[in-house]
Structure 1
Amino acid sequence: MLTVNELAIQSDAPAHVVRYYVRIGLIQPAGQQENGYRLFTSHDATRIRFIRMAKHLGFTLNEIKQITRHGDMGESPCDDVRKIIQHRIQENRVKIEEMMKLQARMEQALEQWKLMPNGIPDGNSVCHLIESIESNEDKQPCHAES
C-alpha cells in the first residue's frame, strides 16, 4: 500500500495533484492508516499516469472521469474517446483559424502604426492607433459573429 507521497513518486505526479484527483473522485483510497493517511495501490499509480496522458491529449478531467467510469464497469470507452477527440480536433481547427485571422489583423495594424506618430489623449481620443483600426473596420461590411 502507498501513501499519497509514495503514490506521487511512483506516478510521477506532484502530491497536490494526487490529492486533487482524490478530492474530485478520479482515484479512491484503498484504505486508511490509523494516523489518517490514505492508502493507495500501484493500480492507482497506473490510473494517475493514464489521467496525465489523457490530459496531455486535451481531454478534460470530466471527460477522463467518464472514460475511466466506463473502464471500471468493464465497458470499452474507446467509442467515446474517439468521439471526444474528433470533436476537440474540430474545435481546435476553428480556434486556430480565428487565431490566424487575429494574427493577420495584428500584423496589419502594426504595419499601419509604424507610419503614424504618437498621439496624446485629448478627451475625444484615448489612443489614435487603436481608434484608426476601429474606424477602418467601421467602413467594412459587418459580419455576424457565431
Structure 2
Amino acid sequence: MRVKQLAEAAHVTTDTVRFYARKGLLMSTRDPDNGYQHFNQEALRQLRFIQQARTLGFSLQEIEQILHHQHSASSPCPMVRDLLSQRVPKVRQQIEELQTLLHRMENALDRWQEMPDGLPDGHTICRLIEHWDSDQQETSNE
C-alpha cells in the first residue's frame, strides 16, 4: 500500500507516515518506476503499535528502542514496565503542579472580577498581574 492508503488505514495523516518512515520507524520499499513508497501489512501493524505507545506517553526514541528489541528477538516488556514505572511518579508530580496552577488561576480570576481595568501609564503594564500576590492569595484561600 502507498503512503495515503497506509495513513487512511491507520487514521493518521500522510505527513505522519512520512515522518515515521524518515525516522526509520516504518520500513518501505520504493517503486523503481515512479519512486512511490510502498508499505506492507507489517508497516500498518507497526504504525498502530506506535500510535498505542504514544497514547501511553512513550517518546519516539523509546518506541525506537522497543522496536529494536522486537527486531533482535528479545522481549521489550521489562524495559516498557521500567519506563512506565519511572514515569508515573513524574506525571503525578506534573498533575499536582497543574492543579496548583489551576487553583491559582481561579483565585486570580475571582479577585480580578472586582478590579477595574487599568490603562498603561508608563509605570504599569497590567495592574491585574502587577498587584497579584500569589503567596498571599494562596494562603488566604486555604
TM-score, normalising length: structure 1: 0.82
Post-superposition offset of 1:9: 3.2
Residue matched to 2:50: 51
**Distance in 2 between residues matched to 1:111 and 1:84, nearest whole Å:** 40
Q: Secondary structure at the match of 2:132?
A: helix
1:1-146 mapped onto 2 (5 Å cutoff): 2-29=1-28, 31-34=29-32, 35-134=34-133, 137=135
Deviation sequence 1:31-55 (CA, Å, 0-9, x none): 3222212222211111111111111
Post-superposition offset of 1:87: 2.2
**Distance in 1 between residues matched to 2:83 and 2:91, nearest whole Å:** 12
Q: Secondary structure at the match of 1:133?
A: coil
| Structure 2 unaligned spans of 5+ | none
**Distance in 2 between residues matched to 1:126 and 1:41, nearest whole Å:** 58
Distance verdict in 2 for CA 1:118–1:49, change over 3 Å: same
Post-superposition offset of 1:14: 2.4
The higher relative CO (CA closer than 8 Å, separation ≥ 6) is in 1
Deviation sequence 1:9-64 (CA, Å, 0-9, x none): 333332221111110110121x3222212222211111111111111111111111
* Equivalenced residues, count: 136
Q: Taking every aligned residue pair, what percent have the same amino acid on both sides?
A: 39
Distance verdict in 2 for CA 1:137–1:19, change over 3 Å: same
Aligned Cα RMSD in Å?
A: 2.0
Q: Secondary structure at the match of 2:131?
A: helix
Q: Which amino acid in the other structure matches residue 26 of structure 1?
A: L
Distance verdict in 2 for CA 1:131–1:49, change over 3 Å: same
TM-score, normalising length: structure 2: 0.84
Q: Which moved more, 1:44-53 or 1:109-118?
A: 109-118
Distance verdict in 2 for CA 1:114–1:12, change over 3 Å: closer
Q: Which moved more, 1:54-63 or 1:115-124?
A: 115-124
